[in-house]
Amino acid sequence: MPAKVPVTWKAEASGALSGVAIHDGSLIDFHSSATGQSYLIRNGLSQLVEIELTGVSEFNVLRFWQGAISSEVFVWKLAVVPPHLWAVADGAWNTLFEGRASLEDAKIAAARLVQTKPEAFLFQLLCSYGGAFAAICDNLAIYRHS
């Protein structure tokens, strides 16, 4: 079995994840449990990249189907999620609460999360085809399989 090599990553001011290539990758495996999630992506260079979320307290998966093509990953500490994100239809907050709460209730729930877990992450994986994922998690790790 290939070794998992940790990848150093950072989130740009926009929240876009840098340090790992996932654009136009194939989401080949997705696991979710009560407290964690993992996403395994074969990127355009045929490398396997795994994104692992632990301490997941909220999540939503939208329109997920087999053969999903990854587009972008966004990550913010809850304390610094930009307010303009609410105006973005497929923004992370809207993805997290779609189908679960009205916009007003979603904003109240988000404010409560920011207040109680400011160091937690808001994670979002967007796919060009095949889904959108959002989660609140305590930790995020990325690995390259070699």
Question: What is the rounded CA–CA span in Å between residue 68 and residue 129?
Answer: 5
Please give the single-letter amino acid code of residue 84: H
Q: Residues 72, 109: contact at Cβ < 8 Å?
A: no
pLDDT at 80: 93
Q: Where are the domains of the chain?
A: 4-145
Q: Cα 9 to chain center, whole Å?
A: 14
95-125 pLDDT, tens digit per residue, is: 999 988 899 999 999 999 999 999 999 999 9
76-100 pLDDT, tens digit per residue, is: 999 999 999 898 988 999 999 998 8
φ, ψ at 125 (rounded to 5°): -115, 120
What proportion of the chain, given as a percentage, has pLDDT over 70?
99
